């Protein structure tokens, strides 16, 4: 979900402009030959996140127990002009949405771009 305005407790869920693929065990098994590099990257990102667990527990009192399936999101400006990764809430249980806590506490992102990245122009 995404706040209606930054800092708002009101969340809306109809703003996706990306294509999403969840790297579940079933999907990885069915696409084993096509996704070897993605499987390695997903494992490395998971290891990185879990590797922070001791520090997160000591500094923030945050306990990591497991992880969810990896998610790939593609923001294709040709399909959806202006497509971008926007500020959003992965686990809105502490908002006015009054949804159950899905236990997510840490999100690890890895950006892949097919061209030069200009921090000033592209963020």
What's the pLDDT tens digit per position in 47-57? Answer: 999 999 999 99
107: pLDDT strictly greater than 90: no
pLDDT digits (tens, 9 = 90+) for 70-91: 988 888 777 777 777 777 777 7
pLDDT tens digits along 1-59: 556 666 666 666 566 677 888 999 999 999 999 999 999 999 999 999 999 999 999 99
The confidence score (pLDDT) of residue 44 equals 95
CA distances to 13, 40, 103 from 50, in Å: 28, 15, 15
Cα–Cα distance list, 87 to 2, 3, 38, 103 (Å): 7, 8, 25, 19
SS3 label, residue 73: strand
User: What is the per-residue pLDDT for 104?
Assistant: 80
């Amino acid at each position: 979900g995404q706040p209606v305005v930054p800092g708002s407790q009101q969340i809306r869920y109809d703003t996706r402009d990306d294509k999403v693929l969840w790297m579940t065990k079933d999907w990885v098994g069915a696409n084993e030959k096509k996704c070897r590099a993605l499987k390695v990257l997903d494992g490395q990102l998971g290891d990185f996140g879990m590797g922070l667990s001791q520090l997160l527990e000591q500094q923030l009192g945050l306990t990591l127990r497991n992880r969810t399936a990896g998610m790939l999101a593609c923001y294709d400006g040709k399909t959806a002009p202006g497509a971008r990764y926007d500020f959003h809430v992965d686990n809105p249980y502490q908002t006015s949405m009054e949804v159950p806590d899905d236990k997510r506490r840490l999100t690890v992102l890895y950006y892949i771009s097919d061209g030069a990245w200009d921090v000033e122009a592209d963020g």
